[in-house]
Structure 1
Amino acid sequence: MLLHTFLAPLALASVAGPAQQDHYGWIHLFDGKTLEGWTEKGGPYDGDADWSVENGVILGREAEGARGGLLYTEQLFGDFEFECDVKINAPFDSGIFVRMLPQKRGAQFTLDDRPGGELFGIYSNGYLFHQSGGDAAWRSGEWCHTRVRCVGHPMHLMGWIDGKLVVDYQVPEGMDEAFTPEGRIGIQVHGGMNDPEDAAVRFKNLRARRLPPMAGENFTVDESGMMTLTAVGEASGWQPLFNGVNLDGWVPNGGSGPMTAEAFEAAGYRARNGVIEALHSGTAGEIRTARTNYRNFQLRMDFQLTKLANSGVYLRSVDDGTNPSFNGTEVQILDDFNWEAASGSKLAPYQFTGGLYGAVAPSKSALRPIGEWNTYLITCVGSRMNCALNGTLLWDVDTATLEPKGGPPFAERAKAGFIGMQRHGSAAESESEVGASFRNLFIRELPEMGPSAR
Structure 2
Amino acid sequence: MSNSESLFDGHSLTGWFAAPRIYGTVRPDGPDVLDVLTALPRDYNTVAARHPAVWTVEDGAIVGRQPEDAPGWGGYLVSERTFSSFELELEMKPDWPADTGVMIRRQRDTWEGFQVLVDHRQSGSIGGFYGNGIGGFHGVPFNIAARLDAAGNPVGLVEDDPATTAEPITAAKRAMLTRAADASGFLAAWRWGDWNHLRIRCEGTPPTVTTWVNDVLIAEVDSSAIVWPGYDPESVWSLLGERGHIAFEVHDNDPGMGHARWGRGAACRWRNIRIREI
TM > 0.5 fold call: yes
Query: How far has the Cα of 1:65 moved from its partner?
Result: 3.1
For 1:54, the aligned partner's letter is E
DSSP 3-state at the match of 1:89: coil
Structure showing greater radius of gyration is 1
DSSP 3-state at the match of 1:88: coil
- Tell me, yes or no, if the aligned pair for 2:88 and 2:274 is still in contact at 8 Å: yes
Alignment-derived partner of residue 249 in structure 2: 188
- Tell me, yes or no, if the aligned pair for 1:32 and 1:56 is still in contact at 8 Å: yes
Alignment-derived partner of residue 28 in structure 1: 6
CA–CA separation in structure 2 for the residues paired with 1:178 and 1:123? 13
CA–CA separation in structure 2 for the residues paired with 1:105 and 1:176? 15
DSSP 3-state at the match of 1:81: strand
Alignment-derived partner of residue 129 in structure 1: 139
CA gap of 1:42–1:115, structure 2 versus 1, over 3 A, is: closer
DSSP 3-state at the match of 1:160: strand
Alignment-derived partner of residue 58 in structure 2: 54
CA–CA separation in structure 1 for the residues paired with 2:118 and 2:243? 22
CA gap of 1:93–1:42, structure 2 versus 1, over 3 A, is: closer
CA deviation string 1:283-334 (max 9, x = no partner)? xxxxxxxxxxxxxxxxxxxxxxxxxxxxxxxxxxxxxxxxxxxxxxxxxxxx
Alignment-derived partner of residue 89 in structure 2: 83
- Tell me, yes or no, if the aligned pair for 2:65 and 2:268 is still in contact at 8 Å: yes
User: Does 2:41 align with 1:65?
Assistant: no
Query: How far has the Cα of 1:103 moved from its partner?
Result: 5.5
User: What does residue range 111-122 of structure 1 map to in structure 2 within 5 Å?
Assistant: 111-122=118-129
CA gap of 1:52–1:146, structure 2 versus 1, over 3 A, is: same
For 2:104, the aligned partner's letter is V
Alignment-derived partner of residue 222 in structure 1: none
CA–CA separation in structure 2 for the residues paired with 1:209 and 1:171? 21
The alignment covers a number of residue pairs equal to 189
CA deviation string 1:244-270 (max 9, x = no partner)? xxxxxxxxxxxxxxxxxxxxxxxxxxx
Mean Cα deviation higher: 99-108 or 47-56: 99-108
Question: Structure 2: 5+ residue runs without aligned partners?
Answer: 24-47, 143-181, 226-231
For 1:113, the aligned partner's letter is H
User: What does residue range 438-453 of structure 1 map to in structure 2 within 5 Å?
Assistant: none
CA–CA separation in structure 2 for the residues paired with 1:147 and 1:104? 23
TM-score (norm 2): 0.62
Alignment-derived partner of residue 98 in structure 2: 92
CA–CA separation in structure 2 for the residues paired with 1:66 and 1:168? 31
- Tell me, yes or no, if the aligned pair for 1:77 and 1:183 is still in contact at 8 Å: yes
Alignment-derived partner of residue 203 in structure 2: 151
CA–CA separation in structure 1 for the residues paired with 2:252 and 2:86? 28
Question: Structure 1: 5+ residue runs without aligned partners?
Answer: 1-21, 212-454
For 1:72, the aligned partner's letter is V
CA gap of 1:208–1:110, structure 2 versus 1, over 3 A, is: same
Alignment-derived partner of residue 173 in structure 2: none
CA gap of 1:152–1:43, structure 2 versus 1, over 3 A, is: farther
2:236 paired residue among 171, 178, 181: 178
CA–CA separation in structure 2 for the residues paired with 1:104 and 1:175? 17
- Tell me, yes or no, if the aligned pair for 2:87 and 2:276 is still in contact at 8 Å: yes
CA gap of 1:42–1:158, structure 2 versus 1, over 3 A, is: farther
DSSP 3-state at the match of 2:235: helix
CA–CA separation in structure 1 for the residues paired with 2:234 and 2:79? 22
Query: How far has the Cα of 1:36 moved from its partner?
Result: 0.5
Alignment-derived partner of residue 38 in structure 1: 16
CA–CA separation in structure 1 for the residues paired with 2:190 and 2:62? 19
Query: How far has the Cα of 1:42 moved from its partner?
Result: 9.6
Query: How far has the Cα of 1:154 moved from its partner?
Result: 1.1
